[in-house]
Chains A and B, each alone.
Chain A
């Protein structure tokens, strides 16, 4: 046939416009009449708009405005109403439409005939639920309890209704839970020992700071919206100091960059504290009236700490330590942002305590523009309606345990004769392998990609292979799905109702369902209700989860008067007009100096800390001893949140493949040139990867950004990271943290 090379016919058919009269008189063959079309100019009226909220595990928890036309998300933007989001999203957020419309989304429930075979078949939801329910009943029959069924879930979707996953497990009986957090537990415990809770200032008040130290955080990548406050503080005259083992994009914007020996942070903070003490720059009002144990801390400093020692341990010149310490102590207010990276060490909790002490002794705790900023959960006072479900009558569980615990566990569990069995989420592989009486037979994975996230990947594969059934609920295929028997497709943020708050800022945002859920995707609570229906059909009374739910109703059930009052709204539907901020008495946490510690004061000496096996004072704790030639760092990348977003085409455009970053001097000693393929190896395993040489990383350090890179690439940093525990975390999150940055490895050219 003869193809028409122009768009004439397409225009004729699809636009239904008549050819302009004048043009039809011209001897045209190729050019078509042109009129400026209204559709070329943006008009908000052409779109339906919806409120969404980014549910990723990120400081910024952005409020999103979504533009829908023809039932299709056309584009999104940051909500203007939130001064924090301020109309902008990050590179990941802007890619959201690429997630919902990626051809690679998991679309249907599917079963794999043999893990890692790639032999998948479609099944109906009914068949999937039938297989799962029968397995659950079989476990109960065999073991007399459901402790053989485990759940591993963490922060893949922080929409509050997604706690219905935990609710689903409870509604089935007492099960095995992986508790704790790989994220921030050592610091949470440290702040609880010192202050009585983790509670940070409003990040928006950073503009008031006269001195800002960003310690082990990279907000230029991981909290882009916070950077405007840092930069505004700087514009107003504040000095910005960044302390990081890597020269990050945040460091590039600082006045001072310190690149200390990794995990020497405690020594550095204590060295600064000693100098402040010597110079008489301590805030005596605070330490005498609002603190406990300051004199003991001062004595410890005098007897055990010198600036020279701190300099030797950290590698930062003594005169610089003195200079920054003096500047910090004399600026009013001064603040330290304590990043999560710096506490992922065997001495991480102790280091956070030392930094807290530095902020406290200078009187910067409880001050607007000041503070030892780490995080908060003050805005999380929801009902947890989806989370709190009752076990079926007669359920048998674990005897003698305390039940699940975690920083996001709001169940306020009642005392019961039975509880769930708990394992450390940071030792998932070991937990599965060690489980006895009963063994772990089945694992439900949701809001988590253990193979990208959990440590010691070779061991994890072995552990998964010991399980009789693995069910994974996800949006995209990843290594965890490859190691599963059943995959269930879950909705994106545009396809479900929920509500989100941040652990950093103080805004609340609704997440409206903006489009019909695509393919056969379902939200986590819909999946739970479906499973309940099947369980009860097969064995009446075997699951208490409501079988018919309206997800919008369930969103409403999360709200209470406390939330309404705290945020100054009358009803959750007010949030359709945009996100709202908590009505804060002060932007400063602890502004009334009433601390939540046993003494009601800031505790330089914490007896609880001592009782839990640590030092009462924030003393220096040595880091993990190196077990290989190089330190290995696997921090977050700019182009993903853990493994999320990494696989999207827009991210691949800039982040085509993973690299190892190393110092050129180290490389030359090893005979390695830029872009060589190398083998990084240690006691855990090995990973082949191309190398890029850069002086942004310190000598004797190897840096590989964490995460999975998608199609055709088996890259996984967890082949190199072991599950060594951090010092703290068990007190408030149920399990110690993990020393992600206390890893060591060697490298050679291949």
Chain B
């Protein structure tokens, strides 16, 4: 499992978790660096923040809700099956969103961090991974490398694959051309495509 994608995943996570212009700028610059994009020097970061909020935060109806459930349910509601799938995935990794239920578990930033967690374990190689023996981490915790590889494959190939494409499409439709939000969407799409291509389908035994 290659580590070269870590910086872009981290930068994307921080971008989508940003709460102000400074955080957006910091994360966007890292995204640009990771993907070899240029951010125009005259970028108005406050304007970028307004745009970011229009798409992902509010207070007006969101143009592109950054939550899996908004895209995977038969109707547009949060805290649906996808959010609980994400929660269970984190639990299986021995992780959890702080204050579960406050922010839906399937927010893009959390999901990117979960990918990062799985890839980190896999990148560390066999030494770090143990057998799927019962541990104190709770029932169903996956610890073996193969188990995490399968979980990663499922999370990328089935969970993220269900919502990232329509999400990216919505972002592209609403983001201003050449702006940092559009750049982040492109970086997200590009990363996701390579992640899919590099991921083996989960074992089916």
| Chain A interface (Cβ < 8 Å from any Cβ of B) | 1-4, 8-10, 12-14, 16, 19, 70-73, 97-98, 101-108, 110, 113, 118-122, 477, 481-482, 487, 489, 515-519, 647, 649-650, 710-711
Most buried by B among A14, A482, A517: A14
**B201 contacts which of A1, A101, A481, A516 (Cβ < 8 Å)?**
A1
Contact check, A120 vs B99: say whether CB atoms are below 8 A apart: no
Q: How far is the CB of A307 from chain B (nearest CB, A)?
A: 55
8 A-B contacts, Cβ less than 8 Å apart?
Answer: A3-B158, A4-B158, A13-B202, A72-B79, A101-B78, A101-B79, A106-B58, A119-B50
Using known A-B contacts A9-B204, A121-B53, determine if residue A487 contacts B59 with beta carbons closer than 8 Å: yes
Q: Contacts A9-B201, A108-B58 known; list 8 others, CB within 8 Å.
A: A9-B203, A9-B204, A13-B154, A98-B77, A103-B61, A104-B60, A108-B59, A516-B102
Of B4-12, B35-43, B83-91, the one contacting chain A is: B83-91
Of B171-179, B182-190, B191-199, the one contacting chain A is: B191-199
Contact check, A122 vs B53: say whether CB atoms are below 8 A apart: yes
> In this assembly, does B150 line the interface, its C-beta being within 8 Å of a C-beta of chain A?
yes
**B70 contacts which of A4, A103, A121 (Cβ < 8 Å)?**
A103
Contact check, B67 vs A103: say whether CB atoms are below 8 A apart: yes
In the bound complex, residues from chain A placing their C-beta under 8 Å from that of B87 are 70
Cα–Cα, bound, A3→B47 (Å): 39
Q: How far is the CB of B73 from chain A (nearest CB, A)?
A: 9
In the bound complex, residues from chain B placing their C-beta under 8 Å from that of A119 are 47, 50
Q: How far is the CB of A165 from chain B (nearest CB, A)?
A: 19
> In this assembly, does B161 line the interface, its C-beta being within 8 Å of a C-beta of chain A?
yes
Contact check, A14 vs B49: say whether CB atoms are below 8 A apart: no
Contact check, A108 vs B153: say whether CB atoms are below 8 A apart: no
Contact check, B158 vs A9: say whether CB atoms are below 8 A apart: yes
Contact check, B79 vs A710: say whether CB atoms are below 8 A apart: no
> In this assembly, does B124 line the interface, its C-beta being within 8 Å of a C-beta of chain A?
no
Cα–Cα, bound, A121→B44 (Å): 14
**B198 contacts which of A1, A12, A97, A103 (Cβ < 8 Å)?**
A1
Q: Which residue of B lies closest to A650 (CB)?
A: B75
Q: How far is the CB of A97 from chain B (nearest CB, A)?
A: 7
In the bound complex, residues from chain B placing their C-beta under 8 Å from that of A104 are 58, 60-62
Q: How far is the CB of B72 from chain A (nearest CB, A)?
A: 12
Q: Which residue of A lies closest to B85 (CB)?
A: A14
In the bound complex, residues from chain B placing their C-beta under 8 Å from that of A9 are 150, 153-154, 157-158, 201-204
Cα–Cα, bound, A119→B21 (Å): 12
Cα–Cα, bound, A732→B44 (Å): 55
**B197 contacts which of A1, A108, A110 (Cβ < 8 Å)?**
A1
Which 10 pairs show the lowest CB-CB distances between chains A and B? Answer: A103-B65, A71-B101, A104-B61, A9-B202, A477-B60, A119-B50, A101-B77, A101-B78, A106-B59, A711-B61
Contact check, A110 vs B78: say whether CB atoms are below 8 A apart: no
Cα–Cα, bound, A120→B63 (Å): 14
Count of inter-chain pairs, beta carbons less than 8 A: 144
Contact check, A107 vs B88: say whether CB atoms are below 8 A apart: no
In the bound complex, residues from chain A placing their C-beta under 8 Å from that of B123 are none
Q: Which residue of B lies closest to A482 (CB)?
A: B60
Q: How far is the CB of A24 from chain B (nearest CB, A)?
A: 8
Q: How far is the CB of B69 from chain A (nearest CB, A)?
A: 8
Cα–Cα, bound, A16→B92 (Å): 10
In the bound complex, residues from chain A placing their C-beta under 8 Å from that of B79 are 72-73, 101
**A516 contacts which of B46, B99, B199 (Cβ < 8 Å)?**
B99
Cα–Cα, bound, A519→B78 (Å): 12
Using known A-B contacts A1-B157, A9-B150, A101-B79, determine if residue A70 contacts B59 with beta carbons closer than 8 Å: no
**A8 contacts which of B57, B75, B204 (Cβ < 8 Å)?**
B204
Using known A-B contacts A12-B202, A72-B84, A516-B99, determine if residue A477 contacts B49 with beta carbons closer than 8 Å: no
Contact check, A647 vs B61: say whether CB atoms are below 8 A apart: yes
Q: Which residue of B lies closest to A19 (CB)?
A: B205
Cα–Cα, bound, A180→B65 (Å): 39
Cα–Cα, bound, A649→B74 (Å): 11
Contact check, B61 vs A710: say whether CB atoms are below 8 A apart: yes
Contact check, B76 vs A649: say whether CB atoms are below 8 A apart: yes
In the bound complex, residues from chain B placing their C-beta under 8 Å from that of A1 are 153, 157, 196-201
Q: How far is the CB of B118 from chain A (nearest CB, A)?
A: 12
Most buried by A among B150, B157, B204: B204
Cα–Cα, bound, A517→B203 (Å): 39
Contact check, A102 vs B202: say whether CB atoms are below 8 A apart: no
In the bound complex, residues from chain B placing their C-beta under 8 Å from that of A649 are 75-77
Cα–Cα, bound, A120→B88 (Å): 34
In the bound complex, residues from chain A placing their C-beta under 8 Å from that of B120 are none
Cα–Cα, bound, A4→B80 (Å): 23
In the bound complex, residues from chain A placing their C-beta under 8 Å from that of B19 are 122
Q: How far is the CB of B181 from chain A (nearest CB, A)?
A: 15
**A120 contacts which of B58, B85, B153 (Cβ < 8 Å)?**
B58
**A481 contacts which of B59, B78, B197 (Cβ < 8 Å)?**
B59
In the bound complex, residues from chain A placing their C-beta under 8 Å from that of B113 are none
Contact check, B77 vs A102: say whether CB atoms are below 8 A apart: yes
Q: Which residue of B lies closest to A104 (CB)?
A: B61
Q: How far is the CB of A99 from chain B (nearest CB, A)?
A: 10
Cα–Cα, bound, A183→B21 (Å): 44
**A4 contacts which of B47, B49, B57, B157 (Cβ < 8 Å)?**
B157
In the bound complex, residues from chain B placing their C-beta under 8 Å from that of A518 are 101-103
> In this assembly, does B121 line the interface, its C-beta being within 8 Å of a C-beta of chain A?
no
**B151 contacts which of A13, A97, A110 (Cβ < 8 Å)?**
A13
Cα–Cα, bound, A371→B65 (Å): 52
